[in-house]
Each structure stands twice: as structure tokens, then as C-alpha cells.
Structure 1
């Protein structure tokens, strides 16, 4: 789309926003005729101030209007491409909440609708439908921000804040998957503040987990370890607390995330302690559940044992643990978690030189949740390693996957 004149790009984004020329003109304070002439290229946009105003109304980064967007390729339809990243960035860069400090927000979606939309977004993420999620996230962010502003006081204020905190966490997780780590950190950090306003310690704890994940992805390993362990200590289960299952799940995930950070710096003793703590929490929980969208339980603890072993360079230990995982428990987990594990264990197999099994794990993950394999930079690195270490011509399924992912054979 970067070859198009700016007027055509304006028309394209106006169409994606489902605005008529008249509505668009009204929001700009221009005439419909002016908009029509701009879109047809009859009238030039030679003032940056006007371009920025148009970008603001269309809720896109101004660079997209100036031709900096990326054409979506067929093989990335189910991933988050740069156009969608910029739309999410634009939604995060808006500070409309400040307007509510000065005057009432004119429009806000009903909270009942927001609850359904947020629940659907969580399921979309946990089924690894990242492309679908990316196309809904910008609007969901704007709607959740508007609801949080509109219901800033009164009985519904905490629920509105809770929903916005969840949306920030969904955005953080999705952005981290595709390598947008700074944006992931920003969204997670926003969730911490909003979650405190919601008055929910567990949501704030989960926001800390997202912050820890983003910091770890940024290479800020020790801060990642500290935030996970510190908040876990504050959420440590007490005797007969309210929402015990939810509390155990968030507490356990913080310990697991801390273990991954400790593994990154080679601190095997801390890894062992944190994994043991998470295992005890999972046994007390009594099974695999999805409380607070954590997928926490004994099976997920084993998956993290594998992942931590891989980070420590112990491919043999990772594979041995993988072979002990209960199939029924594993298959009960949501697709994102299982496909993520296949990627981790593919790395484990490469560490012990079993390239054939590593290839099988990548293909298994791709069959289960293609976006988890095809969209993640880490998966591209693992596949490149597999191809480099394959003797002779790669098997047809791996060669085909490499072609579809744009990884050179």
C-alpha cells in the first residue's frame, strides 16, 4: 500500500474504520466535498498539521498515512502484521481518559457488551488466533478506555477498570508473542495501575506476571525475577482465603515465571525452589484449571520444568520430563499452551542433536496452533537451526513449513 497516493490511503483507513465521507468530514470539521477531493487526489495534503489531524480522527499512526505501512502477505494472514501493530500502538498512545477529567465522555459501550468482548478476546488469545485478535484489539482497547472513563465513579467504576486491566494484559501477551516487547511492557505496566483501581489483588498480580514476561523478553532478567518473586510472596496463599483456587493459580504462575527468569541467568538452585513452590500450589489446587486465564495446574508446572531445563541448556532433562507428561492432562490444556510447549521441546531436542524429533515437534505445534509457530520470532530461529543442522535435503513437510514462514532452506 506504500505506493498509493496519500488520498487513497486516507480512503483506505476511512473504509477500515467504517466511516462515511460525511461522518469523516464532520469529525474533521471539513466539508464532504473536501474529503472527496482529498481521496481522489484532486486536493493535495500539503500541511502536516492537517495530516496529523486526519491520523487522529482515523486513529492510526501518522506514518501509515505517509506510506510506511507493510503490505500483508498471504502467509501472515493469521499473524499480527506491522499495520496491526501500528493500530494497537495508536490505541495505546491515546490519552482520552484525561478528557474525562474535564468533561463527560459522550459515548461508551455498555459494560455487558464489554464483558462478552473481553471474554472472547481471552479465548481468541488462548486458542492462538493472533491475527483475529490483532484485528479486534485496537477497537477493544478504545472501547475499554472509554468505558473506564465513562464509569470513573459509582458502582460500575471497579468493573470498568477491571475490564480495561484485562484488555491491557491481552494486548501485552499478544504483542510479546510477535516480538513487540517495549509495547508489551507498556501495556502490562498500564494494567498494574488500572488493576489497583479495580481493587483486585489477583488481577494486579497477573499484571505483574505480564510485566515480568515483558521484562524477560527485553533481556531485563533480574528485574523480571524480582517482580515475580516479590508479588508471589505477597500473594502467598493463607488458610482458607476467599477465591482460593484463583489465588493459588496466580501465585503459581508468578513462581513459574520467576523460575524462567532464574533459568535465563543459570541460577539452577532458584529454579528448583520456585518450581517446587509452584508444584505444591498445583497439588493443593488439585488439577488443571484456567482460573484468571492462567491454565495453571500440575501439567503446566511440568511444561515449565521442560522450558526451564531448555533455558539451562539441559536438553536431556527437558526431553525426559516431556516424556513423563500425562497425555490426558496435556490434551486438556488450551492450544496456545500446548503449541508453546512443542516449540520449547523442539529446542530441547536440538540441544541433544535429535533434529528429526525437533522437526516433529515443530510440525506438531503447527498442526495444533499455526500462529504459535509461524508468527513467533523464536520459532523462526528454531526452524532456522533445524534446517542448518539437517543433513541433505530437509523432509518435505519441514521444507514446506519453512517456505510458508519465509525461512531460508
Structure 2
């Protein structure tokens, strides 16, 4: 991309944004002919004001348009800038499996190294290190795809597919956090397909929750509910010869929890209660909160989802009551991503009941625990904006500082 003429880069990013030349021209206030000449290099872009206007319409950093690396903001080390998301997108657009039909696959990375890299990526996600993870994901995706292609016909095929399925899940999870819901859906969908090749029902079950979460983020709550419940019914412990192992209980329970979140988005309180009750029963088969298949499932996590579902149903008071009854020892043992997400949910709950000061405190608590969960998520920006709008007088210095980090106007 760097060596391309600027007109070609304009065409590249316009196509990425799925804009026709006519639509792009209309948004710029130019003619279609003008756009065509720019993209073919017939007309030069020699005014910075026009370049900046084009970058604004294409919603990208002007440095990318100029063929340079976007300036990273050192004051926000936990943030993720646009070039990192585009690199993840490019990695997801690779189809090495098709190329392998025509050319010998590249030398794959050793599976031992892949296992370590995937474990490290999961730890990065569950500790809410989204910035560091976004920078490593493109390479991890490429290597996992190469391994899956190279080992496809050998004795390690299932293990390679299992690792790639996990990498797609990690990608789906972090992209959803960053508000890249369409990309999240693509990665999650890939994970379901690869997990089936890996021959692991439970991995496919967790992949299903990733698809459902992406759908929910896209406003597709009913399909999200249906696929969670359907997968849970197939994986239910004690039915159709299924065991009642901690792994199965965790994946089954997680499917029910995500189903409850989808039902809450629809406003179906009865289904929310039924699914939460099923998840709570499953959690009793575990020795506390565990992390089988990276689910963090257990009794405490069920309560966090109970509070989150109450927020979605508009029942802020109930969400606060659930929070006040939490087992603090169990809560503090959960991974940072889960706890910070809960603080964000509690900020929303407090805002619902008009307790703006405590809503601010919850956002700050989440930021202290896992800055990326607050600073990188569009949802957190929306909550902070609402809190600031409803704050009487001048916000505290800590809230004002957080707003500055998030570029949210005070």
C-alpha cells in the first residue's frame, strides 16, 4: 500500500468502504468524473484541505491515505488505532486453503510454538490487553492459517484446526469489544466451521456463543437467542449420551448465559429467568468459577450476567441489588476482563436509576482495573458521555481526566 500513488489508495479505501464512485463524489461535493480522474492519477491531489476531506469521508487516518503509518497516541497506550484493525481485516481476508490447491503450502510454524502463542493471546484478552493483542493478532492469524493449511492432511490436522478455531474466537471477541461487529461476525463464523473440522463439540459450542454475541451487537437479538438455545440443547449434560464433565457444564452454561442476554435485548423477561436458572443449576456442578474453554463460567459469572441482563431489561435497581449481593471473594478471583465488564454494566445500571455519581465511580473502577475495557470500547464512550451530560456542576478531576483520554467532551 505504501508505494501506491495516492489516487490508487483513494480507490482502495473507497472500495473497502463499499462506496461507489458516485456516492463518494456526492459526499465530497464533487463530480463522479473528478473522482475517476483522481483515482486514475490524471488529476493530482495537491491541496491538503482536500486530502483531509477525503480522509474524513472515508473515515480513516489521513496518514494512511498518504501512505504513512498513522500516528499512535502515546498518552493512550491501551487504545487501538485504525491501522491495527485494518491489519486484522487483511489477515481475515487471506484464503491460504484455496492457494494450497495450486501451490505447496508455506513452511508452517511448529505446533508447540502455536500453542504457546494462542495461550498468550487468550491471557491478553482475558486481562483486557486489547492494544497489545490487536498488534499481535494479524501475525497470529496468518501463522494459524498457515499451520491449518500445511497440516490439513496429516496426523496433526485436528490440532491445527483446533488452534485456528481458537484464534478466530479471540479475533471475534476482541473485534466485538472494539465495535467492529461485522468483522467479529466473520471471525466467529469462521471459528464455527473450523471447530467442526477439529472434531470438538465444545469448541464449536463456544464458537457459537461468539457468533451470537456478534449478532447481538449487530442488533440481531432473536437469531442470537435461537442459536444459543439450539446449541445448548444439543450439548446439554446428561442428554443424548452427553457427559457431565466440568468442560461440558461450562460451555453449556455459557450458551445459556448468552441466550439470556439475547432474550433480555428482546425484552423477554420470562426467557431470561429460565435461561439464568438453567445456567445457575449448571454452575452448581463446578467447584467455583473456572475457565474451561476460556468461558470463566461459574456461580459468580452467572450473577454478573444476571445483573447485565437486568440492565438490558431496563431494571437498573435489580442490577444494583445483584451487585450488592455478590460474593466478593468469587468476584475478585475472576479475570480482569470479566470484572471490568461488570463495572461498565454497573455504570449503566446506576445511570438508569439516576445515581450519576456512583455511575462515574464504576467507570473509574473499571478503568483502574482494566483500562482497555473502558478506553477501547465504544459502549464505554457512550456511557461516559451520558454520565457527563447528566452530571450537575463540574465533574471530578478523575472523571474529567478519563473523558480527556477517551476524547469525550466534558
Aligned partners of 1:92 and 1:77: how far apart in 2?
Answer: 25
CA contact 2:128–2:370 (8 Å) conserved in 1:
yes
CA contact 2:106–2:146 (8 Å) conserved in 1:
no
Deviation at 1:300, TM superposition (A): 0.1
Aligned to 1:17: none
Aligned to 2:14: none
TM-score when normalising by structure 2:
0.83
Deviation at 1:68, TM superposition (A): 8.7
Aligned to 1:237: 237
Aligned partners of 2:160 and 2:353: how far apart in 1?
Answer: 49
Residue 206 and residue 68 in structure 1: after superposition, are their counterparts in 2 closer, same or farther (change >3 A)?
A: farther
Aligned to 1:301: 302
CA-atom RMSD, angstroms?
2.2
Aligned partners of 2:66 and 2:310: how far apart in 1?
Answer: 46
CA contact 1:75–1:405 (8 Å) conserved in 2:
no
Aligned to 1:13: none
Q: Return 5+ residue gaps in structure 1 as ranges.
A: 9-45, 48-62
Is 1:367 matched up with 2:382?
A: no
Cα-to-partner distance string for 1:176-207 (whole Å, 9 max, x where unaligned): 00100000000000001100000000000011
CA contact 2:184–2:214 (8 Å) conserved in 1:
yes
Residue 405 and residue 399 in structure 1: after superposition, are their counterparts in 2 closer, same or farther (change >3 A)?
A: same
CA contact 2:88–2:138 (8 Å) conserved in 1:
yes
Aligned partners of 1:65 and 1:156: how far apart in 2?
Answer: 42
Aligned partners of 1:242 and 1:122: how far apart in 2?
Answer: 26
Is 1:158 matched up with 2:158?
A: yes
Residue 187 and residue 236 in structure 1: after superposition, are their counterparts in 2 closer, same or farther (change >3 A)?
A: same
Aligned to 1:257: 258
Matches within 5 A, 1:376-395: 376-395=377-396
Deviation at 1:101, TM superposition (A): 2.2
SS at match of 2:101: helix
Q: Return 5+ residue gaps in structure 2 as ranges.
A: 7-39, 42-62
Aligned partners of 2:244 and 2:117: how far apart in 1?
Answer: 24
Aligned to 1:92: 92
Aligned partners of 1:113 and 1:65: how far apart in 2?
Answer: 36
Aligned partners of 1:128 and 1:81: how far apart in 2?
Answer: 16
Aligned to 1:138: 138
SS at match of 1:117: helix
Aligned to 2:323: 322
Deviation at 1:76, TM superposition (A): 3.9
Aligned to 1:269: 270
Aligned partners of 1:394 and 1:245: how far apart in 2?
Answer: 46
Cα-to-partner distance string for 1:105-139 (whole Å, 9 max, x where unaligned): 13110000000000000000000000000010000
CA contact 1:295–1:333 (8 Å) conserved in 2:
yes
Aligned partners of 1:318 and 1:103: how far apart in 2?
Answer: 56
CA contact 2:237–2:243 (8 Å) conserved in 1:
no
Aligned partners of 1:347 and 1:293: how far apart in 2?
Answer: 26
Structure 1 segments (4+ residues) deviating >6 Å: none
Aligned partners of 1:197 and 1:342: how far apart in 2?
Answer: 37
Deviation at 1:5, TM superposition (A): 7.9
Cα-to-partner distance string for 1:329-368 (whole Å, 9 max, x where unaligned): 0000000000000000110001111111111100000000
Aligned to 1:354: 355
Aligned partners of 2:148 and 2:66: how far apart in 1?
Answer: 32
Aligned partners of 2:112 and 2:172: how far apart in 1?
Answer: 23
Number of residue equivalences: 357
